[in-house]
Amino acid sequence: MYNFMDKVDFITTMALLTDKGNCQELGMRGGGHGVVLTNLCVFDFDEATKIMRLKSLHPGVTIQNVLDNIGFEPVIASGVEETPPPAEKVIRIIRELDPLETRKRGFSSGALKKHYDL
């Protein structure tokens, strides 16, 4: 089971805002609305509420699987689709960057890695 933590030790990127402001207010380049890629699905952010929105489900995953593994109520996009497979170029880059295949330890089952042959 994979769960979002109530509190994290550090944040690697800032998609929207912090208690000190958003990227533009802090004088940072980039930022804005990003995505959160998990072992189950892809989230983006609802424009109006800034709450994470379920954008797509990985093959074989249901909305209930996602809800059972998070501690908050996301916005559910209308017409949640299946996450498309990565392009061959992306798979090649992943394999080249991770020749020891440490990425495979992050999958809860072999189904997803088998489906995408990562």
Higher model confidence: residue 104 or residue 116?
Answer: 104
Global pTM reads 0.64
Q: What is the mean pLDDT of residues 42-58?
A: 88
Residue 78 scores a pLDDT above 60: yes
Higher model confidence: residue 68 or residue 30?
Answer: 68
- Distances 9 to 5, 6, 12, 34, 113 between C-alpha atoms, Å: 10, 10, 10, 20, 28
Alpha-carbon distance of 29 to 23, in angstroms, equals: 7
Q: What is the mean pLDDT of residues 90-110?
A: 75
What are the residue ranges spanned by the domains of the chain?
A: 1-84, 85-118
Alpha-carbon distance of 71 to 85, in angstroms, equals: 27
